[in-house]
């Protein structure tokens, strides 16, 4: 190959390599950038959780600090411990994150506490942070204590921290000055409250959050393996909290693991919050994107590479074709000179211009003798002129002619040749010259003559053969066939000639038969095998083939003889069937007419243990087990004589003495005269069948795990118990038992441990009842105990049932040892009684089930009897739900309006409140039907109706100059607000009624802020864009994060009526109201108080800065007509 041909191909390979490298580089860079983005986003999430929890913890401590100043009144005597403790208890009720509040004397002893067990405990606060100073009126945080409270707790040290998963709390102190006395308040902070708050948004498998003091002391951690009280001084030192308030970083943990950590120090208190996000979890999305990118890039690179390689191969093929053409040109020259056939080339006038050496050998003429002469010098004169004329006509017409003729040698002798002549033309179709190829066939002609004579002789033998003789070529086509073969297959001889073996051999599709046919040509000797032939009419016959290979006209051929063996095969099959049937899996026994055994099969020996030699000549009674009397056998033989057959089940005995069940069938064999000559018996061992029947019965009526009766057997026994109770007059009981929190055990320890627990529970239950009672498992962790033969007096029967129930609870409360685990489990039991009165089984089950669920509602691990009032309550609820579903279409709902006023008692708006006026029930309380509507999702339709009615009322007010500035507040349920199209629904109604959206105020509850806060903000912002206002209802009753409230597009906070009700004498309520109003002002939000019923409440609210009010002091909720009249009077009053 020259360099010129190689250059383009090498350039192509180089370009391809550069392109692949560039693509891999770009892909690597893209994956690196996506990885960096994923790490950045993970750090952002970690920082968000850190900031949120730090704000929540700081806010809680701040509220604690503010409340501390109001716990002990300034004018109280510090020695009056009873009044102090009452104040502490009152304050603790409003602080769910505190375990207790205590008062320390100057020596550090607890002298008063909300938990009496704490009194007298010595608390050393000298190491609390920040350190004690002259001005001690600050909140100081101590090291964690193990235990629930100071009374049963112990202060931890860095050397002895709190145990993992152990109950613990954090002590916090606040020193107050009461006159000339120092008073130290001690708070037991509940870390579980804050950890649970964290877990709502950051599950343990997603990351962990830890809180440390500035000195590195671990206060709390969501990692269950962490030990509060451990000192991490170096970790806090590395954070440089003295220099920076917050930060974030990535941390490698080894083994390919890592964490994305963010930290933030409290703005007010000596602690810092650290959040650790699992880096692997943060990179899950990046890994998916990387797989997608590689799934695209790699196939593309592969496809481009394959196309380039195909182009490269095409260049190589072109070069190879050129070299092949040169090689063929050299070969043709060699063939011309070395060919054994004579080659003659003439010009257009048929003058010889070239001959090869073989021409001289065949004709005797040298090239010099013939060059320039016409090939007719070779003519023998035996071909006519007409022969040559047809030759040239065919040659000029078809550009080719071939045939046989006789030529004359230079020495005068004659010889036979096969001549083929081709006319050679150029690219334009012009005739250039003629090429003749001559083969000397003199010897072949002589051999053909000899074969012709031999063939005539063989044909006589072929016509008279008895077997089906046929001669095949290597392709399986018939060359010759005897008359007997044609007759065997039903064809005429002219139909058979040329037929292929696959047309009559029915098994030729079988690879084995095809191989036998092929092997006949390679084997030197005679072959023989069996196959089947298909006749012309479609019938199939069995044949035996005998064959011998031979040479016919110099070509391989096959001499085959087919013999019809159909009848022989039928006889063989019948013999085989009979033998197979006798040696079936069933035992077979044949006797003579006198019942002496003549023959047995192998299965008989396998079943009975007796060999044929041991039983032939003996009576079958040697198998008798002795379990059947003479009447049984007499009846058997009577049936056999009368009908000629008997079948049934019988007990027989094996040779080893073992008795076994047997299925036996006996048939009498009669001759042509009807005389019995033999008896044939078939027998089978049905031991396994009997065992299977027993197992099926067990599976049908018993629980496979515990062995207890299942629901089917329980129902049967309960039906019998009801019948027995109606006869005897005695009562019975049905106890429905469910294991508490069994699913949690299954999920944490696995189903194998759960199964072990169920088995032990079943055993304990059986030990708790009498032998005649029933314990059943009806599914999962549900068991049923049925007690019978109880007292006929219902009170005494209930007492007996209760005794058994509490015995079960006591027994099942004991620990379970399941492999390496010690597990505690408790039951909830529902019981119902039955007596001689008619009872329906399904009703009893429902009653026990209802009672069981009442036990669960009562706190679990208890027992409840069915109370008909329960069913009445369920029936009432079902009826109420049915009426509620029809209430909208029946237009039974009405909107009532409660006025909202400002500090001058001028109307500023109203709150729309739904009322259900039922035609039969009358006024149905919202407290009765709203929770039901929430449970059944009917609140969605009801809420939509309220929203539409409110918009319609706003439209009416807008048309009146006196009411056009009123704002209407509408309560929105959480389910309604969470609808994906809620914002669209509001927008549609605003546009439909063409109202000013700023006059529509949607009231949301704090519970909506506990989940999906980001979605909440998106929906509120969408509605805020069109001008809708938002009010946070019942504010102060939940645990909303101030951080989230700051993000919400709120217009107003609504002080809950629970804080307003006792405002005139409850100091805590006053402090909370003051804090809410201050917060609203700092967030530039309006504030309104609901539930204002007295002038004193209104004045206190007004003094604290609240200028909008709602409550019965101004008006109760009114229908629209009465409300309009109220509005007119109020407007006229302030005109």
Instruction: Please write the tens of the pLDDT for every residue from 764-800.
Output: 999 999 988 999 999 889 999 999 999 888 878 888 8
Provide the 8-state DSSP code for 731.
E
Hey, what CATH class is 34-285 in? Answer: alpha beta
Cβ burial of 112 (10 Å; 0-12, 13-18, 19+) is: buried
pLDDT of 364 higher than 50 = yes
pLDDT of 34 higher than 50 = yes
Instruction: Please write the tens of the pLDDT for every residue from 385-404.
Output: 888 888 888 888 888 888 88
How far is residue 1065's CA from residue 13's CA, in Å, rounded to a whole number? 93
Residue 114 CB neighbours (<10 A): 21
Give residue 576's pLDDT band: very low, low, confident or very high (50, 70, 90): low
| 563-569 contact pairs (CB < 8 A, 24+) | 563/467, 563/468, 564/468, 564/488, 565/530, 566/541, 566/542, 568/542, 569/542
SS3 670: strand
Structure-token pair, residue 205: 């498998």
Q: Which strands, in side-by-side order, build the sheet including 431-440?
A: 352-355, 342-346, 431-440, 414-425, 400-408
- Strands 468-472 and 431-440, by their bridges, are unpaired
Residues whose CB is less than 8 angstroms from the CB of residue 588 and which lie 6 or more positions away in sequence, other chains included:
582, 599, 600, 601, 603, 604, 680, 681, 682
Q: 342-440 domain in CATH 3.40.50.1000? A: no
- Strands 907-918 and 145-146, by their bridges, are unpaired
Spatial contact of 211 and 230, defined as CB atoms under 8 Å apart: no
pTM (global) more than 0.85: no
Give residue 420's pLDDT band: very low, low, confident or very high (50, 70, 90): confident
Same fold, 34-285 and 447-569: yes
Whose CA is closest to 1039, among 1067, 1071, 1066, 1005?
1005
pLDDT of 158 higher than 90 = no
How far is residue 567's CA from residue 550's CA, in Å, rounded to a whole number? 31
Cβ burial of 1070 (10 Å; 0-12, 13-18, 19+) is: middle
How confident is the prediction for the chain on average, in pLDDT? 85
The residues facing 272 across adjacent strands are 212, 265
- Residue 1037 is predicted with a pLDDT of 64
Q: Torsions phi, psi of 145, nearest 5? A: -110, 145
How far is residue 568's CA from residue 52's CA, in Å, rounded to a whole number? 97
SS3 866: coil
Whose CA is closest to 788, among 838, 842, 734, 837?
734
% of the chain with per-residue pLDDT over 90: 29
- Residue 79 is predicted with a pLDDT of 62
List, in sequence order, the alpha helices (H) in 402-550: 442-463, 483-489, 493-496, 511-522
Spatial contact of 149 and 101, defined as CB atoms under 8 Å apart: no
Rounded alpha-carbon distances, angstroms, from residue 654 to 133, 614, 647, 930, 1095: 103, 13, 20, 79, 106
Give residue 912's pLDDT band: very low, low, confident or very high (50, 70, 90): very high
What dotted CATH number matches 583-691?
3.30.450.20
Q: Torsions phi, psi of 1063, nearest 5? A: -60, -35
Instruction: Please write the tens of the pLDDT for every residue from 219-250.
Output: 999 888 889 989 887 777 777 766 788 888 88
How far is residue 786's CA from residue 800's CA, in Å, rounded to a whole number? 12
How far is residue 694's CA from residue 175's CA, in Å, rounded to a whole number? 80
pLDDT of 914 higher than 90 = yes
How far is residue 2's CA from residue 694's CA, in Å, rounded to a whole number? 90
- The region of weakest confidence among 35-49, 497-511, 995-1009, 1083-1097 is 497-511
How far is residue 88's CA from residue 676's CA, in Å, rounded to a whole number? 111
Residue 880 CB neighbours (<10 A): 17
- Residue 302 is predicted with a pLDDT of 81
Buried b (16+ CB within 10 A) or exposed e, 450-469: eeeeeeeeeeeebeeeebbb
- Map 532-571 to HEC letters: EEECCCCCEEEEEEEEEEEEECCEEEEEEEEEECHHHHHH
- Residue 134 is predicted with a pLDDT of 46
Which whole number is the average pLDDT over 953-961?
A: 93
pLDDT of 825 higher than 90 = yes
Give residue 957's pLDDT band: very low, low, confident or very high (50, 70, 90): very high
Rounded alpha-carbon distances, angstroms, from residue 615 to 183, 256, 589, 595, 652: 111, 79, 10, 12, 15
Distance of CA 1066 to the CA centre of its chain: 56
- Residue 354 is predicted with a pLDDT of 86
- Residue 293 is predicted with a pLDDT of 77
Instruction: Please write the tens of the pLDDT for every residue from 1029-1070.
Output: 999 987 766 545 566 677 889 999 999 998 998 888 888 888
Provide the 8-state DSSP code for 130.
S
Which whole number is the average pLDDT over 990-1008?
A: 91
Buried b (16+ CB within 10 A) or exposed e, 321-346: eeeeeeeeeeeeeeeeeeeebbbbbb
The residues facing 207 across adjacent strands are 277
Spatial contact of 939 and 928, defined as CB atoms under 8 Å apart: no
- In terms of pLDDT, which residue wins out, 116 or 569? 116
Which whole number is the average pLDDT over 679-695?
A: 77
Structure-token pair, residue 94: 């409003």
Structure-token pair, residue 91: 């304050």
How far is residue 351's CA from residue 374's CA, in Å, rounded to a whole number? 5
How far is residue 185's CA from residue 101's CA, in Å, rounded to a whole number? 7
Give residue 210's pLDDT band: very low, low, confident or very high (50, 70, 90): very high
SS3 350: coil
Spatial contact of 984 and 976, defined as CB atoms under 8 Å apart: no
Residues whose CB is less than 8 angstroms from the CB of residue 693 and which lie 6 or more positions away in sequence, other chains included:
none
Which whole number is the average pLDDT over 1104-1118?
A: 94
Name the residue ranges covered by the structural domains of the chain. Answer: 34-285, 342-440, 447-569, 583-691, 702-860, 907-1133
Give residue 677's pLDDT band: very low, low, confident or very high (50, 70, 90): confident
How far is residue 1094's CA from residue 1072's CA, in Å, rounded to a whole number? 19
Spatial contact of 628 and 651, defined as CB atoms under 8 Å apart: yes
Q: 702-860 domain in CATH 3.30.450.190? A: no
Structure-token pair, residue 111: 């002298």
- Residue 580 is predicted with a pLDDT of 57
Residue 736 CB neighbours (<10 A): 26
Fold of the domain built from segment(s) 447-569: Beta-Lactamase (3.30.450)
pLDDT of 491 higher than 60 = yes
Spatial contact of 92 and 125, defined as CB atoms under 8 Å apart: no
495, HSE (Cβ side, Cα atoms, 13 Å): 12
What is the chain's length?
1135
pLDDT of 444 higher than 60 = yes
How far is residue 364's CA from residue 341's CA, in Å, rounded to a whole number? 14
% of the chain with per-residue pLDDT over 70: 90
- Strands 1029-1035 and 1052-1055, by their bridges, are parallel
What dotted CATH number matches 907-1133?
3.20.20.450
Structure-token pair, residue 184: 């130290």
How far is residue 142's CA from residue 1094's CA, in Å, rounded to a whole number? 45
Evaluated on CA atoms 921, 924, 927, 929, the torsion sign reads: positive
């Amino acid at each position: 190959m020259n360099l010129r041909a190689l250059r383009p191909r090498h350039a192509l390979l180089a370009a391809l390599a550069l392109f692949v490298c560039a693509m891999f580089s770009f892909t690597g860079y893209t994956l690196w950038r996506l990885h960096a983005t994923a790490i950045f986003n993970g750090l952002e999430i970690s920082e968000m959780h850190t900031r949120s929890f730090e704000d929540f913890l700081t806010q809680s401590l701040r509220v604690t600090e503010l409340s501390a100043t109001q716990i002990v009144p300034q004018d109280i005597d510090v020695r009056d411990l009873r009044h102090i403790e009452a104040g502490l208890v009152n304050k603790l009720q409003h602080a769910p994150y505190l375990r207790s509040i205590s008062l320390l004397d100057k020596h550090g002893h607890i002298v008063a506490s909300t938990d009496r067990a704490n009194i007298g405990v010595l608390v050393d606060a000298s190491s609390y942070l920040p350190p004690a100073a002259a001005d001690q009126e600050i909140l100081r945080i101590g090291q964690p204590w193990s235990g629930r409270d100071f009374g049963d707790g112990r202060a931890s040290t860095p050397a002895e921290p709190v145990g993992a998963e152990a109950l613990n709390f954090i002590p916090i102190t606040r020193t107050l000055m009461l006159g000339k006395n120092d008073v130290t308040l001690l708070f037991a902070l509940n870390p579980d409250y804050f950890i649970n708050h964290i877990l709502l948004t950051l599950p343990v498998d997603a990351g962990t959050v830890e809180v440390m003091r500035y000195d590195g002391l671990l206060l709390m951690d969501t990692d269950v393996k962490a030990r509060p009280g451990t000192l991490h001084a170096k970790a806090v030192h590395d954070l440089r909290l003295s220099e920076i308030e917050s930060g974030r970083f990535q941390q490698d943990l080894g083994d390919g693991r890592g964490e994305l950590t963010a930290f933030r120090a409290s703005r007010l208190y000596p602690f810092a919050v650290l959040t650790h996000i699992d880096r692997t979890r943060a990179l899950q999305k990046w890994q998916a994107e990387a797989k997608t990118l590689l799934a695209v890039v790699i196939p593309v690179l592969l496809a481009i590479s394959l196309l380039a390689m195909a182009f490269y191969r095409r260049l190589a093929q072109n070069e190879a074709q050129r070299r092949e053409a040169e090689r063929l040109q050299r070969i043709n020259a060699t063939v011309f000179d070395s060919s054994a056939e004579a080659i003659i080339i003439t010009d257009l006038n048929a003058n010889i211009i070239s001959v090869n050496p073989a021409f001289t050998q065949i004709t005797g003429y040298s090239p010099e003798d013939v060059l320039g002469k016409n090939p007719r010098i070779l003519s023998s004169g035996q071909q006519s002129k007409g022969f040559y004329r047809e030759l040239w006509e065919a040659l000029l017409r078809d550009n080719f002619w071939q045939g046989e003729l006789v030529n004359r040698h230079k020495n005068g002798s004659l010889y036979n040749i096969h001549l083929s002549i081709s006319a050679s033309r150029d690219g334009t179709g012009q005739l250039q010259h003629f090429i003749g190829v001559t083969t000397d066939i003199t010897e072949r002609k002589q051999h053909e003559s000899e074969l012709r004579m031999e063939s005539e002789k063989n044909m006589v033998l072929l016509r008279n053969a008895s077997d089906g003789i046929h001669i095949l070529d290597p392709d399986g086509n018939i060359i010759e066939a005897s008359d007997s073969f044609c007759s065997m297959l039903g064809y005429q001889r002219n139909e058979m000639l040329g037929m292929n073996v696959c047309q009559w051999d029915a098994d030729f599709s079988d690879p084995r038969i095809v191989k036998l046919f092929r092997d006949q040509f390679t084997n030197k000797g005679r072959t023989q095998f069996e196959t089947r032939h298909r006749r012309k009419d479609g019938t199939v016959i069995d044949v035996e083939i005998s064959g011998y290979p031979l040479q016919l006209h110099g070509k391989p051929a096959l001499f085959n003889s087919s013999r019809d063996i159909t009848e022989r095969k039928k006889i063989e099959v019948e013999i085989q069937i009979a033998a197979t049937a006798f040696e079936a899996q069933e035992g077979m026994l044949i006797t003579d007419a006198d019942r002496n055994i003549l023959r047995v099969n192998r299965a008989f020996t396998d079943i009975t243990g007796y060999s044929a030699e041991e039983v032939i000549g003996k009576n079958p009674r040697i198998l008798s087990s002795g379990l059947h009397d003479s009447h049984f056998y007499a009846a058997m033989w009577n049936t056999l004589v009368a009908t000629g057959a008997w079948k049934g089940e019988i007990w027989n005995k094996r040779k080893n003495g073992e008795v076994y069940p047997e299925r036996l069938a006996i048939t009498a064999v009669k001759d042509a005269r009807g005389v019995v000559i033999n008896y044939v018996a078939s027998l089978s061992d049905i031991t396994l069948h009997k065992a299977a029947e027993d197992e099926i019965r067990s599976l049908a009526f018993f629980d496979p795990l515990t062995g207890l009766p299942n629901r089917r057997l329980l129902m049967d026994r309960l039906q019998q118990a009801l019948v027995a109770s109606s006869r005897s007059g005695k009562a019975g009981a049905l106890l429905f038992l469910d294991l508490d929190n069994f699913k949690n055990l299954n999920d944490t320890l696995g189903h194998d441990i759960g199964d072990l627990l169920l088995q032990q529970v079943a055993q304990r239950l059986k030990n708790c009842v009498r032998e005649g009672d029933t314990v059943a498992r009806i599914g999962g962790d549900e068991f049923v105990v049925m007690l019978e033969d109880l007292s006929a007096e219902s009170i005494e029967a209930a007492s007996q049932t209760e005794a058994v129930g509490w015995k079960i609870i006591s027994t099942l409360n004991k620990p379970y040892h399941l492999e390496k685990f010690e597990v505690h489990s408790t039951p909830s039991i529902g019981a119902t009684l039955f007596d001689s009165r008619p009872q329906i089984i399904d009703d009893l089950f429902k009653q026990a089930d209802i009672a069981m669920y009442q036990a669960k509602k009562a706190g679990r691990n208890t027992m409840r009897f069915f109370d008909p009032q329960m069913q009445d309550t369920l029936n009432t609820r079902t009826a109420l739900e049915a009426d509620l579903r029809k209430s909208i279409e029946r237009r039974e709902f009405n909107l009532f309006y409660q006025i909202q006023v400002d500090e001058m008692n001028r109307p500023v708006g109203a709150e729309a409140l739904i009322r259900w006026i039922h035609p039969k029930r009358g006024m149905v309380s919202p407290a009765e039907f709203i929770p039901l509507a929430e449970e059944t999702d009917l609140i969605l339709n009801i809420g939509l109706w309220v929203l539409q009615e409110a918009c319609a009322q706003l439209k009416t007010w807008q048309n009146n100059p006196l009411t056009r500035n009123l704002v209407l507040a509408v309560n929105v349920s959480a389910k309604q607000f969470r609808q994906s199209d809620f914002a669209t629904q509001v927008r549609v109604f605003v546009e439909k009624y063409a109202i000013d959206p700023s006059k529509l105020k949607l009231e949301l509850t704090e519970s909506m802020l506990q989940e999906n806060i980001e979605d909440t903000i998106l929906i509120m912002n969408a509605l805020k864009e069109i001008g809708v206002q938002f009010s946070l209802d019942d504010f102060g009753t939940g645990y909303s994060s101030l951080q989230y409230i700051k993000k919400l597009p709120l217009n107003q906070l609504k002080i809950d009526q629970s804080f307003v009700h006792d405002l005139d004498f409850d100091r805590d309520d006053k402090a909370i109201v003051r804090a809410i109003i201050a917060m609203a002002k700092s967030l530039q939000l309006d504030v309104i108080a609901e539930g204002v019923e007295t002038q004193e409440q209104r004045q206190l609210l007004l003094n604290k800065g609240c200028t909008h009010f709602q409550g019965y002091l101004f008006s109760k909720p009114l229908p629209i007509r009465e409300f309009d009249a109220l509005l007119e009077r109020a407007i006229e009053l302030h005109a």
